Amino acid sequence: MLVFLDGMPMGRITSHVRHVVMRNDRFDNPDSGALDRSTQRLREARRVIVLTGAGVSAESDVPTFRGPGGLWRRYRSEELATPEAFARDPRLVWEWYAWRRDRIASVAPNAAHRAIAALDRRFPDFLLATQNVDGLHEVAGSRRMVELHGSLWRMRCLRCGAIKDDRRSPLPRLPPQCACGGVLRPDVVWFGEALPEEALKSAFDAAGAADLALVVGTSSLVYPAASIPRLARKAGAFVIEINTEPTPLTPTADVFLRGPATKWLPPLIEEK
């Protein structure tokens, strides 16, 4: 069943670029009390949801999708992350994923990933919903986590449906082949495809119950993930956004901490 929120069909992934007019100077520097208010709210919180996007891995040297450096060759992610692109040219799409796998294989989680893992250990009621497919949250120690857009380190056979972990880098042949002879695809969610139902339900349930939502390094343009903090806000959660740039979420966030995730997260969680 498709559920509708904010006019967007839920359970499917769509790129929804809104033309939000934002005066950037409004969000230039958080006021001096913003961090204190946030740490205080986090101290008092009982149920926490964290939503992350590519920005949380940017300081591990993983390129984001949008903004400077967001293009691969001349392609935008929306042109390659689709079943149609894969049907048309599986090798091209695999080259993009293989390039990302190779890049990520040689990087390490950063202080932002580690701070989020520390929150996982601190709160009995906690969920991390990530749009990232790089696996760095898990390496950093996050456990209660849903990967809304799948994982770069899994493959799925288009013929027999088998799903397997595969961490080889580089891959010996593109596109990779299953033992049954079928073509393997990355086990990630592409535009126009349904998100993993259980993962999405867990994220929505956690958002509806949360008293604090922390949103880190996402452009808040891709749904249904972008509706998670909005849902939390509607249910009464305090929303803290950390991003180097304002996003469509920023005007409705309770606090916007502008800057790199590694600058704000360690002091926010008050752990050395």
Q: Using CB under 6 A as the criterion, which residues of the chain lie in contact with ligand OAD when the complex forms?
A: 13, 53-55, 58-59, 64-67, 70, 77, 81, 131, 149, 189-191, 217-219, 221-222, 242-245, 247, 260-261
Q: How far is the CB of 226 from ligand OAD (least distance, A)?
A: 8
- The residue of the chain with the least Cβ separation from ligand OAD equals 55
* Omega prior to 170 cis, within 30 of 0: yes
Q: How far is the CB of 59 from ligand OAD (least distance, A)?
A: 5
CA diameter of the chain? 60
User: Which residue from 242, 269, 267 is spatially nearest to 256, judged by alpha carbons?
Assistant: 242
Which CB sits closer to ligand OAD, 175 or 186?
Answer: 186
Assess contact for 255 and 241: CB atoms under 8 A.
Answer: yes
Catalytic-labelled residue, pool 16, 113, 137, 149:
149
Q: At 210, which helix (H) or strand (E)?
A: none
Active site residue 19: no
Q: How far is the CB of 68 from ligand OAD (least distance, A)?
A: 9
CA separation for the pair 111, 87 (Å, rounded): 39
CA separation for the pair 231, 184 (Å, rounded): 35
> Side by side, which strands form the sheet with 184-188?
163-165, 150-157, 184-188
Q: How far is the CB of 101 from ligand OAD (least distance, A)?
A: 14
Which CB sits closer to ligand OAD, 47 or 199?
Answer: 199
Which CB sits closer to ligand OAD, 42 or 189?
Answer: 189
